[in-house]
Copies of this chain bind each other. A is one copy, B any other.
Amino acid sequence: MLSNSTKYAIKAALYLAVNSSEKKKIRIKDIAEPINVPKAYIAKILQDLSKKNLVSSTKGPQGGFYVSNENRQVKISEIIDAVDGEERINSCLLSLGECNSDNPCSLHHLVYKEKQKILRNFNITSLEMLSRHIKEGKSVLPL
């Protein structure tokens, strides 16, 4: 459902949402370790997210990655789409080109309602909401 890269992207973005701010930037190496993702790998992913303005960064001494107040409104779906592309998560389970209620693949009716709900949840849930959740101890940022 989600690629490894997207999982890492979400973990990193959430880590930043919980631990960083405009005034508290975090260096690659200080992100990689707590979320347990190879440094060079998460660097590349964060660079992508930064270029797409989903997280923020500054170069040079005292630089690093962080989430701005704008970034806090970024939705989970935006991160997924940025890393995996919109195709992947929307595609038909059996790879039927146009799969919808008028032309459903054989598994369509087993999943489409639930899939719609999940996608909707991704669309309405922001980094801010999840980071609050984590800070309140209601969920866990893995590894």
Contact = CB atoms under 8 A, between A and B. Distances in A.
A53 interface: no
Interface centre among A106, A114, A139, A142 (most CB of B within 10 A): A106
Which interface class (under 10, 10 to 19, 20 to 34, 35 or more) fits A? 35 or more
A27 interface: no
Nearest to A4: B95
A106 B118 contact: no
A96 B1 contact: no
A93 B7 contact: yes
B140 A96 contact: yes
Copies in the complex: 2
25 contacts: A1-B93, A7-B93, A7-B94, A7-B95, A76-B107, A76-B110, A92-B142, A95-B143, A99-B142, A104-B138, A104-B139, A105-B141, A106-B130, A106-B134, A106-B139, A107-B130, A108-B139, A109-B139, A110-B118, A111-B118, A111-B121, A114-B114, A114-B115, A114-B118, A115-B118
Interface of A: 1-2, 7, 10-11, 14, 76, 92-97, 99, 103-111, 114-115, 117-118, 121-122, 125, 130, 133-134, 138-143
Given A7-B93, A94-B142, A105-B139, 9 more contacts: A10-B106, A76-B110, A96-B143, A97-B142, A99-B142, A105-B140, A106-B139, A107-B130, A111-B118
